[in-house]
Amino acid sequence: MDEKKLQDNFDGLTLGDRHKIIVGVDYGTTFSGVSYVTTDKNDIDDINVVSTWPGQATTSWKTPTRIAYRIENSSLYRNKWGFEADRDPKLISYSWTKLLLDKHAEAGDYDDPALATMSGQGLMQLPTFRDAPGVCQDFLHEMYEYVSNKLRQQMTATTYDMTPMECWITLPAIWSDQAKSATINAAKNAGFGSRPLDEVFTIAEPEAAAVATLSRYSAMNTINAVKPGEHVLICDCGGGTVDITTYTITAISPSLEFQELCVGIGGKCGSTYIDRNLHALLSKRFGDAFDRIPHAKKAPGSPFMTCFEMLKRDFGLNDDYGIREVTPLDLGIPDSEYYDDDERMVKLTYWDMESLFEPVISEIINLVGQQATSAKEKTGKAIDRVILVGGFGDSPYLNQILRKWCEANGNIRLMCPEHPQAAVVRGAALRGLQGIVPHLKKSRRHYGFTWGLPFREGIDDEKHAYIEEFTDKKHCADRMSWVIAKGEDVFKDTYRSVDCLQVYTPGQPLTDYMMLYSSMLDDPQDHLSNARVEQVGKVVSSFPKGFDFGKTNETYNARLGKKIYQFRYSVQARFGEKDGILSFRTFVNGKIVGKTDIEYGRH
């Protein structure tokens, strides 16, 4: 972009009119990617996906999500990340830490059951001086510095410094609200959004994939183009998570329009599940000889696992039933049908490989099947096509098995676009460039608050009874009031309000809070004691000193022996904000007042 032309364009323009740099960031479990484009462009082909990375001689759409800290590695003069950290097995480094951002979320039906114990086995570790959001921040900071320097080189430092950046961070749709908030905060602390006019938003990974793939398949003269009325299932298979969402195409001209058809589904059952299965197989096969191998020799990024990664990538490419050789691993045991001591080689049969893939593929097929059934129940007809994206979407074996399922379930068309591993990060930038977004989404959870229900005939559960502090009336506590339902349509301006009654002291500041809960159940219970009701966090409303509470109630409380002052306010929960994160507002007498935040986690 010409620097003088850009400056001329800036003169007299509002922020909304200015050119911007749109950046897409896909922070993945195993690999991460970055894309960028400037708003003087207008097409998906104008989006640049970074394919050259530090420490890698050949091009690659993504870099390993791995970081090694200088403080722990005496040979380093700075932190190493991506391929730099991946190429040196002697370094103390960290990977798969993305999964730890959501470790407190309730396990889903399709999560890898071994995840709960993996951190104890060394496959998901953290340094003693950083938590999971901190490691995420440090890795994203390296990405931010790298892409910023690349942009400075391409458009000059002056042009870069005067051009606002709009960043879109991709997140798994299955992520908890706490994990979403932790990720966007880590991105902001890493540098994204740090300049005065910069902004940071989030987009769900399957939505980003839909934006990229549906834009491509709706273009003029495209082979196998999508048509209005089609139901398209996006299957995003990554390293740590699988996300599935079905969309209905509502228009392709003059622009692409689509909307979510039914509630999406997913699980933490990505391709790293295969790596964990390999470790389990070798532990069972070789016992202590494998278990005592130092973590660095068999961890992600080690020469042994890098060799296995190549075998995993090519499995299913042909009908080769020969032995697969994985090196090097010094087990110190005699030769056998499974190990060659001279070559330090583990030998895997075709059937071994199939057994490693089978649990993962089964979960993905189950997820696809369940989503397809939901879509058919909604519309009365089968989905029209499945589009497979994500790093694991490139797997020949996954494609082979999923194609068989599609053929057996109504000859559904299966498509895997070129470079499926780049679809999500490309779609993130395209979202910012063209503003493509589903016209409506489906809430993936129920959200609600608790309330006290006055006792009446038929309600006699004394275990949950309490005396309301200010009215002396007996209530049944902890009843759930669900303000938005799972599967409910969510638009950009969707919100729900909850009315509150609170006591205040005239002239003094006040802080009040409500607990927000959620549930993934299709039919949630009406009481907090249900095990599948999860605490999202504490919604805190703050009123400054001297705040005018307007019309209030003054009553004398006999139990307290004094006059009390009560006022009414409402908390508005907003579910369709552009940044993709839950937000809240507090209203008194119809006006936004004070400050409202949510403190995630259990309290």
Tokens of 32: 């991460």
Q: What is the pLDDT, as a whole number, of residue 104?
A: 63
| Residue in the block written with tokens 């080690």 | 302
pLDDT tens for 27-68 read: 999 999 999 999 888 788 889 999 999 999 899 999 999 999
Q: What is the pLDDT, as a whole number, of residue 107?
A: 52
Average pLDDT of the segment spanning 432-447: 90
**Fold equal for 3-205 and 443-600:** no
Q: What is the pLDDT, as a whole number, of residue 449?
A: 87
Alpha-carbon distance of 126 to 131, in angstroms, equals 7
| Residue in the block written with tokens 């219970």 | 525
Q: Is the pLDDT of residue 361 over 50?
A: yes
Cβ atoms of residues 517 and 536 within 8 Å: yes
Alpha-carbon distance of 366 to 77, in angstroms, equals 48
Alpha-carbon distance of 441 to 261, in angstroms, equals 8
Q: What is the pLDDT, as a whole number, of residue 66?
A: 93
Average pLDDT of the segment spanning 336-341: 93
Q: What is the pLDDT, as a whole number, of residue 43?
A: 80
In this structure, which topology does domain 3-205 adopt according to CATH? Nucleotidyltransferase; domain 5 (3.30.420)
The identity of residue 97, as a single letter, is: T
Q: Is the pLDDT of residue 454 over 90?
A: no
The DSSP element (H or E) to which 314 belongs, if any, is helix 303-314
Average pLDDT of the segment spanning 570-578: 83
**Interstrand relation of 165-171 and 21-26 (parallel, antiparallel or unpaired):** parallel
Average pLDDT of the segment spanning 102-120: 55
Most confident of 1-15, 121-135, 273-287, 586-600: 273-287
| Nearest Cα residue to 157 out of 169, 167, 144, 148 | 148
Angle at 31 between CA 26 and CA 32, to 5 degrees: 25
Alpha-carbon distance of 445 to 571, in angstroms, equals 19
Enumerate residues 6+ apart whose C-beta is below 8 A from 45: none
Domain chopping of the chain, boundaries: 3-205, 443-600
The DSSP element (H or E) to which 363 belongs, if any, is helix 350-379
Q: Is the pLDDT of residue 11 over 60?
A: no
Average pLDDT of the segment spanning 512-539: 85
3-state secondary structure string, 449-464? EEEEEECCCCCCCHHH
Q: Is the pLDDT of residue 472 over 90?
A: no
> Bridge-partner residues for 20, per DSSP?
none
Q: How confident is the model at residue 16 (pLDDT cuts 50, 70, 90)?
A: very low
CB burial of residue 200 (10 Å; 0-12, 13-18, 19+): buried
Q: CB under 8 Å, gap of 24 or more: what pairs does 345-351 form? A: 346/282, 346/304, 347/323, 348/311, 348/323, 348/324, 349/321, 349/323, 349/324, 350/320, 350/321, 350/322, 350/324
- The least confident of 13-17, 222-226, 310-314, 365-369 is 13-17
Alpha-carbon distance of 346 to 247, in angstroms, equals 44
Q: Is the pLDDT of residue 75 over 70?
A: yes
Q: How confident is the model at residue 1 (pLDDT cuts 50, 70, 90)?
A: very low
Which CATH number, 3.40.449, 2.30.30, 2.60.34, 2.30.110, labels domain 443-600? 2.60.34
Average pLDDT of the segment spanning 439-468: 58
pLDDT tens for 287-308 read: 999 999 988 888 888 899 999 9
Alpha-carbon distance of 248 to 62, in angstroms, equals 30
Enumerate residues 6+ apart whose C-beta is below 8 A from 469: none
Q: How confident is the model at residue 150 (pLDDT cuts 50, 70, 90)?
A: very high
| Residue in the block written with tokens 């490693």 | 356
Average pLDDT of the segment spanning 494-502: 86
Tokens of 493: 């301006």
Cβ atoms of residues 529 and 535 within 8 Å: no
**Mean pLDDT computed over every residue of the chain:** 85
Q: What is the pLDDT, as a whole number, of residue 326?
A: 94
